[in-house]
Structure 1
């Protein structure tokens, strides 16, 4: 890959994760739910995760031994992938686990010859926006009042990254 098409940052995480990535299935959902509920005011239900698995979406988890540290949910659509959820245990955030999961998704997408990656992110989620920007995601749209919030609704930024 040449320097123009590689959009991954050269900076390594402050605390490199001691983790490996495994595919998740329904038996992993209790651990997924614990992280989801700890990380979000409006978490996904177990039923949503089950529906994702049954629909053939990719659910991957970052593990340290047998301990789930974070996960991602990706919906493949033809030659595009949509990152629906990237969540790291709040006790393990800012240690490179989100980067590891994102890098894994990008690597798998390249292997599958996917042309673009898409996602929505809360406008107020500065840490996630910074992570996605570091990996070449650009804003291509805005979804007004997309997410539930404490005081009503919050806008979502639609981000996209092409792959070569």
Structure 2
């Protein structure tokens, strides 16, 4: 097996026993992370929860809900040590395929205006701004709006 194949992340469904590793990443990369309960509730609700991993390391994870032919990407995260290598783009592409496979015709998501890296990723994948959700996110000094983005699938 080549080093490239060995180091290429594999997507698999998130299990409750993965949540501790997920939370470890979440708390390192976000000032206002999701809670353990958020992830466990998403698994119980049968949202599309996946981890992206290589042997011995969690590269990233995501959570998506699909209903009424629309996918709502709720969380897409890459561990800090794995960022800027194209993994976010690959993980997003996986979620778009999963959404299409489950009958979604469009994907929507929210992103913080202050999260330039994520907004750039989504624009590069064909998402466009369709609105703003005022005071959506907790922030250091109160609340921050969310930019609502959408992409046809």
User: Shared fold (TM-score greater than 0.5)?
Assistant: yes
Structure 1 residue 61: Cα displacement: 1.1
- Answer 1 or 2: which has greater helix percent: 2
- Distance in 1 of aligned mates of 2:84 and 2:114: 17
Residue 134 (structure 1) aligned with residue 134 (structure 2): no
Residue 106 (structure 1) aligned with residue 96 (structure 2): yes
Structure 1 residue 132: Cα displacement: 0.2
Aligned length: 147
Partner of 2:49: 59
Residue 30 (structure 1) aligned with residue 20 (structure 2): yes
- Distance in 2 of aligned mates of 1:76 and 1:108: 9
Q: Residue 41 of structure 1 aligns to a residue in which SS?
A: coil
Residue 21 (structure 1) aligned with residue 11 (structure 2): yes
Structure 1 residue 154: Cα displacement: 0.9
Q: Residue 72 of structure 1 aligns to a residue in which SS?
A: strand
Residue 148 (structure 1) aligned with residue 138 (structure 2): yes
**Which one of the candidate residues 51, 66, 70 is aligned to 1:80?**
70
Note the residue ranges of structure 1 that are not aligned, 5 or more in a row: 1-16
Partner of 2:40: 50
Partner of 1:71: 61
Note the residue ranges of structure 2 that are not aligned, 5 or more in a row: 1-6
- Please report the TM-score for the alignment, with normalisation by the length of structure 2: 0.92
Q: Residue 48 of structure 1 aligns to a residue in which SS?
A: helix
Q: Which has the higher contact order (CA 8 A, sep 6+)?
A: 1
CA shift digits 1:89-135 (9 cap, x unpaired)? 11211111111110101112222231110100001111100100011
